């Protein structure tokens, strides 16, 4: 603990020296001034805990010195010393903030007692202030944890969850630096930039290729511990994202779920910012909170994807097809956009399974899905409709264009898959009220293609039917 610092302001040089020697011998850090002006100057230069003020000073009166001390340094205690005491002067000194009032010649033991009591009062005030600050920090951290928890519970969507988390962290105002950073998600043995906050002073793209042990992020991946770097220009571990960028400090916090690192919270700070153990512990707690939320969000995404995805081919399943077709059908009705569907069925698939076995039949379905995806536009969708049937949804496609696509698909399958397919095409018409009509028309066209000998395209819609045989379309 630092020694108690005392300033003596007295115009009597002998008394000033004697008092300074006694207090120094008692272990106090003592300074002395001959008048109020010199004393106030010293007080401005040094942090002082207690001032002993002679009431009868030359120049600036002692009572004015007291007043200025308490105005500029309210936590500094003051003891008034005087040889010409009156009740009024004692009351005035007390009203202006003096800790005590001693008459000259004063008893040294009495003076030391008053100094000790002033020191005890100051220490008690410092303890109270420290406890109050500690309590405020604790409350701020609890509120920050609550705010982060609330932000994490507002959504299960991963992208929104990450951006909301960063915004919440920035708004907590408990960090001893300006928050600027990002969240990365671990994918295999590398990290992917997922969300950013703050001015883009640091280039983040190179961090997406960092592996365990490389740079700061890689070290966190490898160790699962918070990493602190005070200056990117001076830290040899800070090898990737500091290249050519602005010098900065760096905090990388692991986002953990079940003791596994699932992501990184990367915070950019001013250079040489001190981060204490308490803050590191708080950041680790935040990291665990975010990590669990990230893992839950990823599990949700996987569950949602699996519920809408055919596990064999990876295409959207029938449920997903219903959702997407409804959206496109409503858009076609409202805005007059073109919409066509193609039902595609493998010819003699049962015979193929009986001949080659079901595992080979599964491989054929996967192969067909790959061909269909390759031949379609990025804006179009391919779904596994059921069994060996596939449904293709073409947005902004008129009947002629849809028939041409179906014929191209038929030819590609015949040349690459070793089997043939039959296809039925139907296009939206403004008289249609439900999407099921579109599917029924495509199904009826597919049935006609089967009945007409297979390996062909039949097209129809809105009651108008046209046919394309295997050689009928260019």
Contact between 454 and 420 (Cβ < 8 Å): yes
Same domain, 173 and 275: yes
Of 75, 80, 9, 78, which Cα lies nearest the Cα of 50? 78
Distance CA 312, CA 384 (A): 10
CB atoms near residue 207 (< 10 Å) = 24
What are the percentages of helix, strand and coil residues in the chain, rounded to 5? 50, 20, 30
- Residue 105 preceded by cis peptide, ω within 30: yes
Instruction: Please give the Cα distance from 388 to 395 (Å, whole number).
Output: 23
Per-residue model confidence (pLDDT) at position 163: 84
Q: Is residue 254 part of a domain?
A: yes
Q: Does residue 310 lie within any of the structural domains? A: no
10 and 97 belong to one structural domain: yes
**pLDDT score of 199:** 59
Do 324 and 464 lie in one domain? The reply is yes
User: Same domain for 68 and 175?
Assistant: no
- Cβ-Cβ contacts under 8 Å for 393 (sequence gap 6 or more): 321, 324, 325, 328, 339, 340, 341, 380, 381, 382, 383
Residue-number span of the structural domain to which 335 is assigned: 318-468
| pTM metric for this prediction | 0.52
Is 305 a domain residue?
A: no
**112: CATH:** 3.40.50.2300
Are 296 and 322 part of one and the same domain?
no
**How many domains does the chain divide into?**
3
Phi-psi region of 20 (alpha: psi -120 to 50; beta: other; left: phi over 0): alpha
Note whether 258 and 367 are same-domain residues: no
pLDDT for residue 259: 84
The dihedral of CA 425, 428, 429, 435: what is its sign? positive
164 shares its domain with 265: yes
CA 366 to the chain's CA centroid: 39
- Looking at the fold, whether 286 and 375 belong to one and the same domain comes out as no
- Is residue 149 situated within a structural domain? no
Structure-token pair, residue 366: 């996967």
Q: Using CA atoms, how far apart are residues 294 and 256, in angstroms rounded to an integer?
A: 9
**How distant is the alpha carbon of residue 230 from its chain centre?**
21
| Other Cβ atoms closer than 10 A to 357 | 11
Contacts of 268 (CB under 8 A, 6+ apart): 180, 181, 198, 201, 202, 248, 249, 250
- How is residue 1 written in tokens? 């603990």
3-state secondary structure of 357: coil
Residue 388 annotated among the catalytic residues of the structure: yes
Q: Are 344 and 392 in contact (CB under 8 A)?
A: yes
The answer to whether residues 191 and 294 belong to one domain is yes
CATH number where 252 lies: 3.30.450.40
Whether 148 is in a domain gets the answer no
DSSP 460: E
Output the domain CATH number for residue 453.
Answer: 3.30.70.270
For residue 463, is it left (φ>0), alpha (ψ between -120 and 50) or beta?
Answer: left
Clarify whether residues 332 and 295 are in a common domain. no
**Statement to judge: residues 210 and 347 lie in one domain:** no
Say if 357 falls within a structural domain: yes
DSSP-assigned letter for residue 208: G
Same domain, 446 and 327: yes
Domain end position, chosen among 300, 331, 364:
300
Q: 10 Å Cβ neighbour count for 197?
A: 18
Residue at 390 is within a domain: yes
Mean pLDDT of successive 10-residue stretches along the chain, which has 474 residues: 87 91 92 93 90 90 90 90 74 84 84 91 87 84 82 80 82 70 82 74 59 79 85 73 65 88 85 81 88 85 75 90 91 88 96 94 96 90 94 91 95 95 95 92 96 93 41 35
pLDDT, position 202: 47
Q: How far apart are CA 315 and CA 384, in angstroms?
A: 6
| In a domain? residue 131 | no
Specify the pLDDT at position 91: 79
Give the pLDDT confidence score for residue 470 in this predicted structure: 40
- Catalytic one of 388, 396, 407, 416: 388
For 371, what's the count of Cα atoms within 13 Å in the CB-facing half-sphere? Answer: 25
């Amino acid at each position: 603990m630092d020694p108690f610092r005392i300033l003596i302001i007295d115009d009597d040089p002998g008394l000033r020296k004697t008092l300074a020697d006694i207090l120094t011998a008692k272990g106090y850090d003592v300074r002395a001034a001959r008048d109020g002006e010199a004393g106030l100057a010293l007080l401005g230069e040094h942090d002082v805990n207690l001032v002993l003020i002679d009431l009868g000073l030359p120049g600036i009166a002692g009572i004015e010195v007291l007043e200025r001390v308490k105005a500029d340094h309210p936590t500094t205690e003051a003891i008034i010393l005087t040889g010409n005491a009156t009740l009024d002067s004692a009351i005035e000194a007390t009203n202006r903030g003096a800790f005590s009032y001693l008459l000259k010649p004063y008893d040294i033991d009495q003076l030391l007692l008053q100094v000790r009591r002033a020191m005890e009062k100051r220490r008690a005030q410092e303890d109270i202030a420290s406890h109050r600050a500690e309590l405020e920090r604790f409350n701020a951290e609890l509120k920050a944890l609550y705010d982060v928890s609330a932000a994490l519970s507002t959504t299960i969507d991963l992208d929104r969850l990450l951006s909301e988390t960063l915004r919440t962290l920035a708004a907590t105002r408990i960090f001893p630096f300006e928050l600027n950073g990002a969240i990365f998600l671990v994918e295999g043995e590398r990290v992917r930039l997922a969300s950013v906050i703050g001015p883009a002073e640091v280039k983040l793209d190179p961090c997406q290729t960092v592996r365990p042990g490389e740079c700061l992020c890689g070290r966190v991946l490898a160790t699962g511990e918070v990493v602190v770097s005070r200056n990117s220009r001076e830290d040899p571990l800070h090898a990737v994202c500091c290249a050519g960028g602005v010098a900065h400090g760096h905090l990388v916090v692991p986002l953990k779920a079940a003791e596994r690192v699932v992501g990184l919270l990367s915070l950019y700070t001013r250079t040489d910012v001190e981060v204490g153990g308490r803050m590191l512990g708080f950041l680790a707690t935040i990291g665990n909170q975010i990590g669990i939320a990230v893992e839950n969000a990823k599990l949700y995404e996987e569950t949602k994807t699996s519920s809408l995805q055919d596990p064999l081919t990876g295409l959207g399943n029938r449920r997903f097809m219903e959702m997407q077709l409804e959206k496109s059908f409503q858009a076609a009705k409202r805005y007059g956009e073109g919409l066509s569907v193609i039902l595609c069925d493998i010819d003699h698939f049962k015979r193929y399974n009986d001949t080659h076995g079901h595992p080979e039949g599964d491989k054929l379905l996967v192969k067909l899905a790959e061909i269909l995806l390759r031949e379609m536009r990025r804006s179009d969708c391919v779904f596994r409709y059921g069994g060996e049937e596939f449904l293709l949804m073409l947005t902004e496609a008129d009947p002629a264009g849809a028939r041409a696509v179906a014929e191209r698909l038929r030819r590609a399958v015949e040349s690459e898959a070793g089997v043939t397919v039959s296809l039925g095409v139907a296009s939206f018409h403004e008289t249609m009220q439900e999407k099921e009509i579109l599917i029924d028309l495509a199904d009826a066209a597919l049935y006609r293609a089967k009945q007409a000998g297979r390996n062909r395209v039949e097209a129809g819609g809105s009651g108008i039917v046209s046919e394309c045989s295997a050689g009928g379309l260019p």
